[in-house]
């Protein structure tokens, strides 16, 4: 992997089934809204040897009509929402609660945990992102420093601390430690 | 025999450091080819689970 710009990483990765699942979803999502992938999948993308049952994605808040168009396309492509069938219910959950989950029909795992950007930190994550270019497509992910800060100082499970250490070691020549500290203060 | 959680966490972290160093110093296609074997086998296993969405959401504490 190599940085080809301040916010672009080229990754010559072999595609996994998890990547295929995510790419199918993202190819639809990106036609309708801005997005950013956060948390466990980011560590896995850069080599962590673990699976995950869900992939966390933040999107810009959108009105029901716009979300409906995206939902309709997701359904046509074989995705369904685990939380509800009707658009009104899904949109209400997404707007009022934290997230809704989408999986391929007949499955519950893996799934995409989708949430609207609601907090200043969510909006910062959407804005200050990284683009990862791979042979099979492009993904937008959160800043590595933000992932490290969040996993180390907020989530703090063994798995999250391991994810943080993995990212810190893999990106040790590129990481800005002041940024990790700034994110830690922002999150605290 | 008693399970030593701290020792286990230390061992796991040691492996994380070693593997991260491998990822950092080897071509992407090398480590990601190895990672694919693990992740794809987990995905195949997950497909065989016949969970209902509501059971999964209940297990996650979301309903």
Assess if residue A153 is contained within a domain. no
How many structural domains comprise chain B? 1
Nearest Cα to Cα of residue A130 among A120, A139, A141, A121 = A141
HSE-CB at A174 with a 13 A cutoff on CA atoms is 16
Peptide bond into A16 cis (omega under 30): no
Is the CB of B52 inside 8 Å of chain A's CB atoms?
Answer: yes
Question: Is A162 within a domain?
Answer: no
On whether residue A60 sits in a domain, the answer given is yes
pLDDT, one tens digit per residue, over A54-99 is 999 999 999 999 999 999 999 999 999 999 999 999 999 999 878 9
Is residue A62 a part of any domain in this protein? yes
pLDDT tens by residue, B6-53: 898 899 999 999 999 999 999 999 999 999 999 999 999 988 888 899
How many distinct structural domains can be found in chain A? 1
CATH code, domain carrying A15: 3.30.460
Cis amide linkage into residue A110, ω under 30° from 0: yes
Q: Is B13 within 8 Å of chain A by CB?
A: yes
Chain A contact set for B43 (CB, 8 A): 16-18, 21, 51, 110
Residue A188 lies in a domain: no
Look at residue A185 and tell me if it is in a domain: no
Give the mean model confidence (pLDDT) for residues A141-170. 96
Joined tokens for residue A100: 């809704």
Q: Is residue A66 part of a domain?
A: yes
Task: Give the residue from B35, B55, B53 showing the smallest Cα distance to A166.
Answer: B35
Distance from CA of A65 to the nearest CA of B (A): 25
On chain B, the residues whose CB falls within 8 A of the CB of A18 are 39, 43
The dihedral over CA atoms of B27, A5, A184, A58, expressed in degrees to the nearest 10, equals: -90
State the nearest Cα–Cα gap between B40 and chain A, in angstroms.
6
- Residue A93 maps to a domain: yes
All residues at 6 or more sequence positions from A166 whose CB lies less than 8 Å from its CB, including other chains = A43, A46, A47, A48, B16, B19, B20, B23
The set of residues, in sequence order, having a beta carbon less than 8 Å from that of A5 and lying 6+ positions away, is: none
Tell whether ipTM is more than 0.85: yes
For residue range A13-37, list pLDDT tens digits in order: 999 999 999 999 999 999 999 999 9
Range of the domain at A77: 2-142
Residue B38 touches partner A, C-beta closer than 8 Å:
yes
CB contact (8 A) between residue B29 and residue A14: yes
Q: Which domain holds residue B43?
A: 5-59
CB–CB of A49 and B35 under 8 A? Answer: yes
CB contact under 8 A, A110 and B16: no
How are beta strands A100-104 and A79-81 bridged, if at all? antiparallel
């Amino acid at each position: 992997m190599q940085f080809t710009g301040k916010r672009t990483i080229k990754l010559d990765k072999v595609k996994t089934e998890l990547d295929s699942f995510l790419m199918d979803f993202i190819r639809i999502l990106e036609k309708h809204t801005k997005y950013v992938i956060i948390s466990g999948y980011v560590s896995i993308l850069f080599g962590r040897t673990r699976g995950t049952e869900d992939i966390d994605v933040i999107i810009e808040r959108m009105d029901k009509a716009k979300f409906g168009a995206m939902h309709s396309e997701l359904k046509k492509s074989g995705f369904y929402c685990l939380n509800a069938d009707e658009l009104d219910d899904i949109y209400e959950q997404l707007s009022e609660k934290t997230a809704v989950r989408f999986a391929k029909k007949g499955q519950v795992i893996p799934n995409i945990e989708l949430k609207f950007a609601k907090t200043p930190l969510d909006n910062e994550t959407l804005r200050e992102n990284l683009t990862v270019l791979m042979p099979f497509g492009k993904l937008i992910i959160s800043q590595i420093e933000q992932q490290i800060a969040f996993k180390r100082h907020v989530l703090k499970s063994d798995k999250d601390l391991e994810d943080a250490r993995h990212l810190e070691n893999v990106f040790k020549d590129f990481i800005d430690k002041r940024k990790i500290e700034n994110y830690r203060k922002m999150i605290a | 025999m008693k399970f030593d959680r701290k020792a286990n966490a230390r061992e796991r972290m040691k492996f994380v450091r070693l593997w991260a160093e491998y990822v950092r110093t080897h071509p992407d296609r090398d480590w990601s080819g190895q990672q694919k074997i693990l992740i794809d086998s987990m995905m195949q296993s997950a497909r065989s689970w016949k969970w209902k969405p509501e059971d999964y959401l209940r297990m996650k504490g979301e309903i």
